[in-house]
Amino acid sequence: MAAIWKYPLQVTDWQEVRMPPGKPLCVQMQGDQLCMWAEVVPHGMESTRQVRIYGTGHTMDPVGSGSYVGTVQIGELVFHVYVD
């Protein structure tokens, strides 16, 4: 059985998130916190996922180095989130 879990994220270029098998669904601000929601198998073996956050106009890793999860606006800044 699946569940949707929330993962708070830092606004940084790169970070790791431990999560059970599943797929990221979206990113949004919840109050002042950037969060990612993912559909996961709660009792599955956790693995480390790479999260990359790019500001609009910033250099990115090669295309195909992660799945696009979403775009979020924080004040006047716009960030795009990818998960490997």
Ranges of each domain in the chain: 3-83
Amino acid at 3: A
One-letter amino acid of 79 = F
Q: What's the order of all strands across the beta sheet hosting 3-9?
A: 3-9, 33-40, 22-30
**Per-residue pLDDT, 61:** 78
Using CA atoms of 16, 21, 22, 23 in order, give the dihedral in degrees to the nearest 10.
30
Question: pLDDT tens digits, the chain, 84 residues: what are they?
Answer: 899 999 999 999 999 999 999 999 999 999 999 999 999 999 999 999 999 999 999 998 776 678 999 999 999 999 999 999
* pTM of the predicted model over 0.85: yes
